Amino acid sequence: MKTKIGINLLAIASGVLLSACGHQIQDYDNSQPKFELDRYFDGEVTAWGLVQDYTDKVTRRFCVEIDGSWEGNNGTLVETFYFDDGEKSYRTWHLTKTGDNYQGTAEDVTGSATGLTQGFAFQWQYNLQLEIDGKAYEFFLDDWMYQVDQSRVFNRTSMKKFGIEVAELTLFFDKQQPIRGCQP
């Protein structure tokens, strides 16, 4: 019995230590190109994405059209989501830039989102309210965006509830001209 408890405690401790060893935004400090969020999300951008559940099964696909505008250090991103099941939804981000730090609010975000750019990477964290089967739930999202070149950004997002990952989102952003929209 003591051996079983010891093994379980060791497994839990190992999991905690391994999760603490994950990458950090500072790991990308000297990488290029430098991701300037306010420059990239100024104008029209289209993104395509997937939602995968905790078993890695793709549960939704979507496209999002983003129209960004900036006045000094204040920006607005107007997003229109088109899901493969026909759902259409909207989000408007109001962002403030201070150096490499960003803060933002949106109608379905609890409190403020916070983010930081380092090199070609951007980490963005926030609590998102989602309605599922008529009930509201709050999830913690940890977005990691990586700028590949002037026109393209990849995004991986971990969605957690009670500290446990329940879904992962993967997106590909493109602002190459002419912009391809979501609608055929």
The CATH number assigned to the domain holding 134 equals: 2.40.128.20
Does residue 10 belong to any structural domain of this protein?
no
Please count the structural domains in the chain.
Answer: 1
Does residue 53 belong to any structural domain of this protein?
yes
Say if residue 53's pLDDT is above 90: yes
Does residue 47 belong to any structural domain of this protein?
yes
Taking the model in full, what pTM does it have? 0.83
Q: Count CA within 13 A, CB hemisphere, residue 44.
A: 10
Look up residue 134 and give its DSSP letter. Answer: T
Does residue 140 belong to any structural domain of this protein?
yes
Residues 43-50 have a mean pLDDT of 96
**Taking a C-beta distance cutoff of 8 angstroms, is the pair 52, 168 a contact?**
yes
pLDDT band at 184, cuts 50/70/90? low
CB atoms within 10 A of CB 131: 10
- 162: which 2 tokens? 């009670």
pLDDT band at 177, cuts 50/70/90? confident
Length of the chain: 184
Domain around 130: 25-174
Instruction: Tell me the pLDDT tens digit for each residue of 1-37.
Output: 444 444 443 344 444 444 445 779 888 888 888 899 9
Does residue 106 belong to any structural domain of this protein?
yes
**Taking a C-beta distance cutoff of 8 angstroms, is the pair 152, 158 a contact?**
no
In this prediction, residue 180 carries a pLDDT of 83
Instruction: Tell me the pLDDT tens digit for each residue of 122-170.
Output: 999 999 999 888 999 999 999 999 999 999 999 999 999 999 999 999 9
**Taking a C-beta distance cutoff of 8 angstroms, is the pair 45, 146 a contact?**
no
Does residue 8 belong to any structural domain of this protein?
no
In this prediction, residue 77 carries a pLDDT of 98
Residues 70-98 have a mean pLDDT of 96
Does residue 40 belong to any structural domain of this protein?
yes
Residues 65-94 have a mean pLDDT of 97
Reported as type and span, the H/E element at residue 4 is helix 2-20
Does residue 168 belong to any structural domain of this protein?
yes
Does 134 or 78 have the greater pLDDT score?
Answer: 78
